[in-house]
Amino acid sequence: MTMRRQPFTSKLPPPTIRIYTDFDGTMTQEDVGADLFRHFSGEEYFEDIRGRWKAGELEAPAAYQALCRRISSLTMRQLRDFLAPYEIDPAFPRFMRWCDEHGYPLLVLSDGVDLYIDLLMEKAGIEFQYLSNTMRLTGGSPLMDFPYFDSRCPEVAHCKSNQVALRSQEDDIIVYIGDGTSDFEAAGYADMVLARGALETYCQEQNITFRRFYNFTTVREILSLMISQNTLRRKKRAQVRRRQLWAGG
């Protein structure tokens, strides 16, 4: 038997449509993280810290840590009770299946906290891949960690634009779905943005092309239509920015 020479193939997987989505206010109706801190650290204190955070006086991790220190204790039971009225968009599981069937990698990027994402995921009976800040309950004040903080973006504790740029391949088409300030920076690195809320306004101001979505049924419909009409394409500006981040290490 003669050995056939393998044709040259790149080690990289073939380019794909790669989808990143925010969690709070995007996969849920409400900002669960903000509501949680408002509830447990007190409305007035929360607004004070948030004001200083938004004004740039506090970096995001410092703001989170200040909020945590204000909570004298937090138990899993309290967290479960608090989360009772919250749920993940009921259309999200079908969206996940759609991504899976078509081979589109889907990654949730949250500037919130793993504990409540896990609990809401469990409640919805689904499992998805996500990256977020972390929280540990210790009996006293909860402790947070920020594994994806980058001082390049001090206004967020989780630098989502790093994930979007560094976890994608050069020829992927990047879709980003979000609603708020934690998505501003990352949206500029995506080929296609689906936005609602503050992100919508931001995209308009920054001249970032976007489509408005209401829930994950509309997300799926918009993307399906664009794919079938071949209008979901790479955007030069986003691709150049991703390359710049890669080059910067």
What is the smallest separation between the CB atom of 138 and Mg ion, expressed in angstroms? 27
The stretch among 15-23, 115-123, 151-159, 184-192 that binds Mg ion (CB under 5 A) is 15-23
What is the smallest separation between the CB atom of 2 and Mg ion, expressed in angstroms? 58
What DSSP letter does each residue of 16-50 carry, written as one string? Answer: -EEEEE--TTTTSSS-HHHHHHHHHH-HHHHHHHH
For Mg ion, which is the closer residue by CB, 22 or 191? 22
For Mg ion, which is the closer residue by CB, 22 or 200? 22
The stretch among 21-29, 94-102, 160-168, 231-239 that binds Mg ion (CB under 5 A) is 21-29
Judged by DSSP in three states, 7 sits in coil
Quick check: 17 and 172 in contact, CB under 8 A?
yes
The binder of Mg ion chosen from 22, 114, 185, 191 (CB under 5 A): 22
What is the smallest separation between the CB atom of 229 and Mg ion, expressed in angstroms? 28
Contact between 24 and Mg ion by CB under 5 A: the answer reads yes
The radius of gyration computed from the CA coordinates of the chain, to the nearest angstrom, equals: 19
| Degrees, nearest 5: CA angle 135-95-220 | 125
The stretch among 12-20, 86-94, 155-163, 176-184 that binds Mg ion (CB under 5 A) is 176-184
What is the DSSP pairing of strand 192-195 with strand 173-178? parallel
The stretch among 5-13, 123-131, 179-187, 240-248 that binds Mg ion (CB under 5 A) is 179-187
What is the smallest separation between the CB atom of 25 and Mg ion, expressed in angstroms? 4
User: Where do runs of H (alpha helix) occur along 43-197?
Assistant: 43-54, 60-70, 76-83, 92-102, 114-124, 160-166, 184-187
The binder of Mg ion chosen from 179, 185, 191, 200 (CB under 5 A): 179
The binder of Mg ion chosen from 180, 196, 208, 239 (CB under 5 A): 180
Spell 29-68 as b/e; 16+ CB within 10 A means b: eebbbbbbbbebbeeeebeebbeebeeeebbbbebbbbbb
What DSSP letter does each residue of 136-161 carry, written as one string? Answer: E--SSS-EEE-TT--TTSTT-SS-HH
Number of residues that bind Mg ion (CB under 5 A): 5
The binder of Mg ion chosen from 17, 21, 25, 238 (CB under 5 A): 25
What is the smallest separation between the CB atom of 234 and Mg ion, expressed in angstroms? 25
Quick check: 140 and 73 in contact, CB under 8 A?
yes
What is the smallest separation between the CB atom of 125 and Mg ion, expressed in angstroms? 23
Using CB under 5 A, list all residues that contact Mg ion: 22, 24-25, 179-180
